[in-house]
Chains A and B, each alone.
Chain A
Amino acid sequence: MGWGLMSPALVVLFIMAIAPTVYLVYVSFRHENLLGPGSMFVGWQNFSRVLSNNENWSDALSTVEFVVLSVFFELGLGLGLALLLNRRLPESDLLTALFILPLGVAPVVSALVFRVLLDPAYGWIDYYLQTWGLIGDPIDWLGNPGTAWVAIVGLDVWQWTPFVTLILLAGLSGVPSEPKEAAIVDGAGPVLLFWHITLPFLRPFIAIAVVLRAIEAFKTFGSIFVLTTGGPGTSTEVINLDLYRIALQDFDIGAAAALGIVFLLFLSVIMTQLLGVLDRNTDILED
């Protein structure tokens, strides 16, 4: 009965998770290039090829940097906004309703809009920064590695900070007032209050927000693909874009499969850690 009700879901997940993994493992031991001649067994050759390629390692590092930077800024800004919105100003509800709008914008659309806004010749961002005297010459944001990083992280932060804000705002609304009042009577200042009363109550919500954001950030493809295509050079190329290039532009399926397997193994280690974080801080994994 139980497995019977589960079966439609398991069939769909089999098609999209198990079957692809099995095929990837199989093809990772073969020379398989959709453009070149025939396919043959080559042992560990694909793995040694992708693991000895420095580009793949620097892309892996970029991926981790992208996730850490994005989630860090989203948590910081999200916490700040949630605390401000929680002051229950008359306009708090209206503000919250408007703050969540980026969540509804397709990542590809926001990437295109950012690209146009960041244009050094016609973009509004350089124009207003110049007009207000914040910069001298226009900045070619997407033409330099450092500023291109600002752009891809900035885009992710713009799009997903509201997500973190919402979760933390829900957490804040559950913080009871009695311990706070008691602490104020005892002469605790706002910093102590936050550190010893608000933060412990928020911990499960911070854990949920960070874990869900980290998982999604590791999967980011469309927004970076549209905004920088991994450029300039390969400076903003995360592993997802690397895999796309190897598999769907070079058609080197064997190498892409080997790199994909390594990525999956890495992600399953990360996922175990993240689920551990959820398990220690929340009860959402309880049976």
Chain B
Amino acid sequence: MKSLATVLARLALWSALATTLFPILWMLLTSFKQPDISQALPPVWDFAPTWQNYRDVLTGNTYTSQVFGVLIVHTVIVTFASTLVGLVAAVPAAYALARLRFSGKRFAANWILTTIMFPPIVSVIPVFIFASRLGLTDTWPVLVIPYAAFSLPMMIWMLRSSIKQIPFEIEEAAMIDGASQADILRHIVLPLLTPGIVSASLLAGMMAWNEFLFALTLTRSAVKTAPVGISEFTNMYGTQWGTLSAAATVTVAPILVITILLRRRVVEGLTFGAVK
């Protein structure tokens, strides 16, 4: 009876896993296929893999308007810059909300949390208009500042709870020894906060890396990112399955590798600190 239940549980889990991985597996397989078999039915499972699609995608031997490798570089820059801006704003705010007493604190904390509800489509309209009037369309700040703002509420929220878990006695002892507020933040809180900062940065980085709406609306070519560029692989010439899936794999691979290597931190970030 017990073993039958285990067999059924295993069966259910493995078939759910097969369904889950199927689209990712399709993407990987197709990216290594020669063009003549990439759309073949019945699907070809056994073939000699080729790097041709990846070479074409990264060197620009495709129908797309820009070399995809360049878009990946843009995405890397935007991701790091916005995560950094987010951290610089989030760490002090989280510390203030966790440790200091000041009037209006509860209101500030609640208001910051409610901004996570703010839908990007509503803010992209004014940003689009201001950016075109100020000539900022297709520049770094129109992506970096919004991306930092999107992840800011959750970063603050996560870091606030991480700081609260650091025993206040350690800080008190430093204060008694004459350390300044800045010293305490730098030499005591920050080192203990590292895991929390890693988790929050991973969350912010993944959001920025994958973001589509702002990149679609506010960029043309100079700072265009991979999620926007990838949709060009299905165009009026039809879908180039091989290059599409190679570009998709290149876009997804860094995040998937990080997800596997830093699983606990990624999970903590994705669930906004609810899962430690």
Contact = CB atoms under 8 A, between A and B. Distances in A.
Interface of B: 6, 9-10, 12-14, 16-17, 19-21, 23-24, 26-27, 39, 41-43, 85-86, 88-90, 92-93, 95-97, 100-102, 104-106, 108-110, 112-130, 145-146, 148-150, 152-153, 156, 161, 181, 206, 209-210, 212-213, 217, 226-228, 230-231, 233-234, 239, 241, 244-245, 248, 251-252, 255-256, 258-260, 263, 266-267, 270-272, 274-276
Contacts of B128: 247-248
A12 B26 contact: no
B212 A108 contact: yes
A287 to B, nearest CB: 6
A112 B96 contact: no
**Chain B interface SS verdict (over half):** helix
A212 interface: yes
Contacts of B275: 166-167, 169-170
Q: Give 7 closest A-B pairs by Cβ, nearest first.
A: A2-B102, A222-B212, A16-B149, A9-B93, A106-B210, A5-B96, A5-B92
Contacts of A201: none
Given A84-B13, A166-B271, A221-B212, A106 B251 contact: yes
B89 A17 contact: no
A73 interface: no
A163 B41 CA distance: 34
A156 to B, nearest CB: 13
A84 B11 CA distance: 10
Given A9-B112, A244-B121, A253-B129, A102 B20 contact: yes
Given A9-B152, A112-B244, A113-B24, 11 more contacts: A17-B123, A34-B129, A89-B9, A101-B256, A104-B266, A106-B255, A108-B210, A108-B227, A127-B41, A215-B117, A221-B120
B23 A158 contact: yes
Interface stretch (A54-62, A139-147, A263-271): A263-271
Interface of A: 1-6, 8-13, 15-17, 19-21, 23-24, 27, 34, 77, 80-81, 84-85, 87, 89, 95, 97-110, 112-117, 122, 124, 127, 131, 158, 162-163, 166-167, 169-170, 205, 208, 212, 215, 218-219, 221-222, 225-226, 240, 243-244, 247-248, 253, 256-257, 260, 263-264, 267-268, 270-271, 275, 284-285, 287
B149 to A, nearest CB: 4
A84 B12 contact: yes
A6 B96 contact: yes
19 contacts: A19-B126, A23-B129, A77-B16, A85-B13, A89-B10, A100-B259, A112-B234, A113-B245, A116-B234, A122-B41, A166-B270, A212-B271, A219-B121, A226-B212, A243-B122, A247-B128, A257-B125, A264-B122, A275-B113
Contact of B210 (A80, A107, A284): A107
Contacts of A15: 145, 149
